[in-house]
Amino acid sequence: MSSDALRARSLRAVWHPCTQMRLQERLPLVPVARGEGPWLVDHDGRRIFDGISSWWTNLFGHCHPRINAAVVDQLGRLEHVMLAGFTHAPAVELAERLAALVPGNLGHCFYASDGSSAVEIALKMSFHFWRNGGRPEKTGFVALEGSYHGETLGALSVTDVALYRDTYDPLLMRCRTVASPDARAAAPGETAADVAGRAAQALEAHLAEHHASTAALIVEPLVQGASGMVMHDPEYLRLARALCDRYDVLLVADEIMVGFGRTGTVFACEQAGIAPDLICLSKGLTGGYLPLSAVLATDRVFGAFYDDEVARGFLHSHSYTGNPLACRAALAVLDLFAEDDVLASNAAKAARFTEALARVAAHPRVRHFRHRGMIWAFDVADAPPDFPRTAFEAALARGLLLRPLGATVYLMPPYVIEPDQMDWIAGVVEAVVDL
């Protein structure tokens, strides 16, 4: 099938996510035929470098042979069985291995299908935890300004990005927002840790007044993604953990984007030396292969649901909970981390890519160039309203997939990126900023 024919059929039949479909009539869809490592290949054989890991999911490149082999092997054994009243080895092994990897003692794994579902589960668990504990008045949630936790109604309630939230606001439960520890807010002479301290003071003031009605604080550790790759100092997480303990509020870590090595450690919370009460995982969990998410909980949280009464159990499910194919893909991802010293390799690659991007950082239109682990971002001064579209088109014409967030350009490449590709990408990004 030709690319043009597939585009036309897709426009008629497929309602694409986060897309104004009318704009696709003049901004053609990109028909992808296959993937090869960090490259996407269209039906005409043109290669496009996946500079954003396909919405931050693809850790080890497309069609990785070891992940492929794991999924194919599982396909010949068991494709699916419901996880209510049944179990299977991939789900058990993955739960055990995740519990051994996450910070703290979060030994109870609840599976779901995607990041928004994981956040929904964490919110419901938090509410139900306090209800089962005899404190039903603790129903409220706190999130950071600019936070993004998903687009289903519960997850959207704790999201503070107007583009996604405003239309549906009448449908949402109420959530309070507190100051973000955005390092860009540092005043002259201040450090990122100082900004974190100021933001924690705002959180403390809120909890001092509202802790009796607050179930949980939810936070994206170290990097707030959809609001523009907003980065903060680990000190905020340390202070937030202490405040949650003091005021008897659960801490939910949304590591959906930042987990599995994106920030330089397996999980971002590690860099603060803290453990949450609940941790949400998805995106890179299966290496970008299959939908899967997980919420891991402490003994304290799990214990509040452990009872003879059915209604005190956590009554949440979906048909494909703990799908064996997805679990095997995730286990293959964990094998790659265990066997290939991925974090050390990434640290070397991050240093090399940061060096390659030095000329971008020095560009007169670039503001707040920032980097953590395998995430790079900067803001473009005086960017016009149509900058995301024009930057996307310009990069794509040069063979690079970028998807700016407003005036923020970010790079989140697969971990298989090579030095020559880094140099080439830096040149493309510089050309895009020059537009």
- Find out whether 199 and 183 touch, Cβ atoms under 8 Å: no
- Find out whether 141 and 155 touch, Cβ atoms under 8 Å: no
Q: How many CB atoms lie within 10 A of CB 46?
A: 14
Which residues, in sequence order, are bridge partners of residue 117?
none
Question: Helix 387-397 vs helix 419-434: angle between axes, to the nearest 10 degrees?
Answer: 140
Q: Which two tokens stand for residue 374?
A: 């395998």
Given this model, what pLDDT does residue 215 score?
A: 98
Residue 203's contacts (CB-CB under 8 Å, 6 or more residues apart) are 142, 178, 179, 217, 239, 240, 243
Q: According to CATH, where is 3.40.640.10 located in the chain?
A: 69-339
Residue 187 is classified by DSSP as P
User: Which stretches of the chain drop beneath a pLDDT of 50?
Assistant: none
Given this model, what pLDDT does residue 256 score?
A: 98
- Find out whether 129 and 121 touch, Cβ atoms under 8 Å: no
φ, ψ for residue 50 (rounded to 5)? -85, 80
* CA separation, residue 309 to residues 86, 315, 396 (Å): 20, 12, 56
Q: Which secondary structure element, helix H or strand E, spans residue 297, and what is its range?
A: strand 293-297
Verdict on whether the full-model pTM lies above 0.85: yes
Q: How many CB atoms lie within 10 A of CB 390?
A: 14
Q: Distance between CA atoms of 222 and 411, rounded to whole angstroms?
A: 16
Given this model, what pLDDT does residue 24 score?
A: 84
What HEC string does 129-145 produce? Answer: HHHHCCCCCCCEEEEEC
Q: Distance between CA atoms of 249 and 426, rounded to whole angstroms?
A: 44
CA angle (206, 207, 208) in 5-degree steps? 95
Q: What is the pLDDT of residues 114-159, one digit of tens each?
A: 999 999 999 999 999 999 999 999 999 999 999 999 999 999 999 9
Q: Which two tokens stand for residue 96?
A: 């055990």
Residue 17's contacts (CB-CB under 8 Å, 6 or more residues apart) are none
Q: What is the pLDDT of residues 263-284, one digit of tens each?
A: 999 999 999 999 999 999 999 9
- Sole residue written with tokens 């956590």: 314
Fold of the domain spanning 69-339: Aspartate Aminotransferase; domain 2 (3.40.640)
Q: Distance between CA atoms of 241 and 222, rounded to whole angstroms?
A: 14
Q: Which of 98, 7, 424, 69 is nearest to 292 (CA)?
A: 98
Residue 172's contacts (CB-CB under 8 Å, 6 or more residues apart) are 153, 156, 157, 165
CATH class of 31-63+341-434: alpha beta
Q: According to CATH, where is 3.90.1150.10 located in the chain?
A: 31-63+341-434
Given this model, what pLDDT does residue 5 score?
A: 87
% of the chain residues with pLDDT over 70: 100
